[in-house]
Every structure is written in structure tokens, then in C-alpha cells.
Amino acid sequence: MTAISASAVPAAASSDSDGAVLHRPVIDWFDAHARDLPWRRPEAGAWGVMVSEFMLQQTPVNRVLPVYEQWLARWPRPADLAAEPPGEAVRAWGRLGYPRRALRLHGAAAAIRERHGGDVPRDHAQLLALPGVGEYTAAAVASFAYGQRHPVLDTNVRRVFARAVGGAQYPPNATTAAERKLARTLLPEDEPTAARWAAATMELGALVCTARTPDCARCPIAALCAWRQAGSPEHDGPPRRGQTYAGTDRQVRGKLLAVLREAVTPVPQTTLDQVWDEPVQRARALDGLVSDGLVEPLSGGLYRLPLT
């Protein structure tokens, strides 16, 4: 795979402040084609943005929308969520997958209540110090909620940069230092423009520069794209990770959690034993849920969603 680096900026881009020539067409495209999503509306506030960022990790928008709406209706502020047991966050998470995100969001809400008077902090370092908030989420909240200047690198943005600037079909499997350096190089100097650029590149990757079938005819920077200029070469790097689900421990965990989410009282082991035939895998999945804090074991072979 072609390495992504600041020196890989196409000549057309590097001639105008290291990529500024890309900013206007991408932002203009975004202004015309951005989806009307609830977390992009002013009334969403920083908490709405934070909730969306937790939910959208590895989960498509169409699955997130109904859960997001229900979540904000029930817990419109961080303190509302923090006042409930963490198991209620797991229950409300439903079938979004990767339910540890629900516990992390609950932990972040509790920290916001305790450290910041119930308001999502504006400061990037304070965001990064919240439980469950990593480099990407802190940058996304600071950028999308508060209009600050931070490189926001999700899978969609990384793919746009890999193609348009690096000339590669796909980015590396994990974010690299070279990608972070490139993202900083391409970031507009003006804060509002930088925040708009972050949202625009993300949307471009989600709607046009998609993983499997990029719609280059609709791309506002197709003429500047290094990958197209190189003849759209096939990926020649390490195999891309797939997301298998059927038969995995993830599937078993999901089935076990589904039973516990529906239950109003603790669930006996015998009920959980019915969700999966293979006892070793079932036990491993249940042990993992307990270890992750998603399930609380009680005496007498009973289990429930966590209360503390």
C-alpha cells in the first residue's frame, strides 16, 4: 500500500497551502448534500453530539437513529443518564452492538456531572480525560459541538485521505502517525472552516467515497484524486479485516444480553443456558460479559444487568 504522508499531497493540492485547494469543493459539496441528521442540528447540543459519536462507532446511521432519539428523549442531559444504574444504559442500547460503549457513555455522563457541573466540557484535554473518550471522540465533540480546530479521523475520513492524497484504495488497518500528520497538514487554519471540513470529509466518505463502490462521478475532488490519477490501483497491502458475526462469541454475548434486557427480575442460569447449544462457548461468552461489567452475577445462579 502507498504510505500516506504529508509529502503525498498532490501537486494541485500542495500548491495552495498544503491542500487548501481541496477545502472549498468538499465544503461546498457538503453544504449542498449533507444529510439532515439530528445530532447536526443546533438543538442537539454537545451532549447530543457526544451520544451520537459513541453510538456511531462501527454502527451505521440507520441503526443508530431510532435508538438515539429514544436515548435523548429519556436522558436529555448527562446528569439524567448518570442518575440511573449503568444497566439501564445497557438495556436502552438495544441491538446496536458493542454494548461496552453504553457503559462507557454512562461513565462519561457520571464524570461530566461530577467534574463539570453536568455540562459537556469544551476543552479538548478535559474531553479526553473523560472515561471512554479516546482521541477520535474528543476531537469529534470539540469540532462538531464547539466548532474547534481538531483533526477528526474516522474510517470514512481516513479512506478519503488515503485515496485523494495518498493514492491508495484503502487506509491502513489501524490509524498511523503518518495519517495523523497528514490530517493536521490538511486542516484549515480557520476554526469554523476546520470544523466544517471535518464534517464534510466524513460525509464524503460515508456517501460518495465508500469502501466498496466509490461513486467517483459524484465526487467534488475527483479531478484532484491521487488514486484516480494513478488508475485506481487495487489494494495490495495487508488483508483488510472483515467483521464476521455468525457463530462468534459476539453473537452469543448478544443473545445472552437480549434475554437480560427483556427481563424485569434477575435471570436464572437455566434460562441463559437455552440461548446457545454449545456450553463451552456459552460459558465463555457469559464470563466475558461479567468481566466487562455488562452483567452482574448474583447468588443462587442468577444474573442481571449491572446496578452499580
Half-sphere exposure of 198 (CA within 13 A, CB side): 28
Give me the long-range contacts of 87-94 (CB less than 8 A, separation at least 24): 87/296, 87/304, 87/305, 87/306, 87/307, 88/305, 90/257, 90/261, 90/294, 90/305, 90/306, 91/261, 91/305, 92/67, 93/67, 94/67, 94/261
Cell 447468588 identifies what position? 299
Residues 131, 104 contacting (CB under 8 angstroms): yes
Active-site residue, 135 included: no
Kindly state the DSSP code that residue 267 receives in the 8-state scheme: E
* CA 93 to chain centroid: 15
The grid coordinates listed for 175 are 490509524
Q: Among residues 53, 88, 179, 203, which one is catalytic?
A: 53
Strand partners, 165: none
- Which residues, 6 or more positions from 297, have their beta carbon under 8 angstroms from its beta carbon? 290, 303
Residues 282, 275 contacting (CB under 8 angstroms): yes
Helix (H, G, I), strand (E, B) or coil at 297: strand
Nearest to 95 by CA among 136, 124, 121, 67: 67
| Residues acting as catalytic residues | 53
